[in-house]
Amino acid sequence: VNLNKIALIRNSRDTTNPSVPAHATMCIEAGADGITVHPRPDQRHIRASDCFELARMLTVEFNIEGNPMAGPRKSGRAGVGDYPGFMELVKAIRPAQCTLVPDGDQQLTSDHGFDLKRDGDRVAPLVAELQALGIRTSLFMDPDPEQIRLAAQVGADRVELYTESYARAFSSGTDLEAVFGQFVRAAEAAAEAGLGLNAGHDLDLHNLPRFATVPGLLEVSIGHALTVDAIRMGLAEAVRAYQAALGK
């Protein structure tokens, strides 16, 4: 479960309510397998301090995702600490998994995977740095078999497939089989390269059961849709519904 939207609601009032750790506990008690956060330099939702709090209390896998090139930034909000830089934050916390994402400061959300033909030489030493600390490292990738193979060459343990194109095709009914086939081929390329397979972005209760049939899928990270469903059905019930959609 991605908790960014819980933090976004909290930050709209600059209070401690809703509590990010308390909602993490609710998700875990309802059966969530792990907790994901994506702390951005502007700390618009998850803050660096949230990451440290979660690291102290979590009993399940902790996945921190973000842009490894994001450097330190002073906080402009009263009561909010500075952003230490993504790599410094992750190295201090040492989560079970770190997902590297090539997003810029001005993006509302992640909208593309790494181009490792261009960026592979910069990404490889970052992957090695994280792995030396015992952190499983995943790269956010488009469903492109050639790029997936490059992810293995730069040393990644896993890839997280960017699933927005699948969600859009599922919703519109346009080219769904062709788009789904792209993800199957990407999954096959990951397996052949020895990479574990994660996925995320715009997955919801409607499109998740079909996507869960992608071969070798180990993990999905879902935040926005689950939070919206939680408003309607309650957080614990929403978590259970997503587990059911995965066939658990």
Catalytic residue selected from 23, 45, 65, 219 = 65
Strands (E), the chain: 34-37, 61-66, 97-100, 136-141, 158-162, 196-200, 217-221
| pLDDT over threshold 60, residue 108 | no
CA 74 to chain centre: 24
Return the CATH class of domain 4-245.
alpha beta
Rg (CA), the chain: 17
Q: SS3 string of 90-145?
A: HHHHCCCEEEECCCCCCCCCCCCCCCHHHHHHHHHHHHHHHHCCCCEEEEEECCCH
pLDDT in tens, 14-43: 889 999 999 999 999 999 999 999 999 999
Largest interatomic CA distance in the chain: 50
| pLDDT at res. 112 | 82
- Alpha-carbon span 46 to 61, nearest angstrom: 17
Average pLDDT for 144-172: 98
> Active site includes 201?
yes
| Percent of the residues in the chain that have a pLDDT greater than 90, as a whole number | 93
Residue 65 is a catalytic residue: yes
Give dist(CA 134, CA 242) in Å, integer: 29
Catalytic residue among 38, 45, 160, 219: 38
Whether residue 109 has pLDDT greater than 70 = no
Residue 143 confidence (pLDDT): 98
Above 70 in pLDDT, residue 157?
A: yes
Closest CA to 197 of 216, 222, 223: 216
Residue 220 CB-half CA count within 13 A? 30
User: Do the beta carbons of residue 81 and residue 49 sit within 8 Å?
Assistant: yes
- The whole-model pTM stands at 0.95
Candidates 23, 45, 160, 201; catalytic one:
201
Is 206 known to be catalytic?
A: no
For 25, list phi and psi in degrees, rounded to 5.
-60, -40
What mean pLDDT is predicted for residues 148-170? Answer: 98
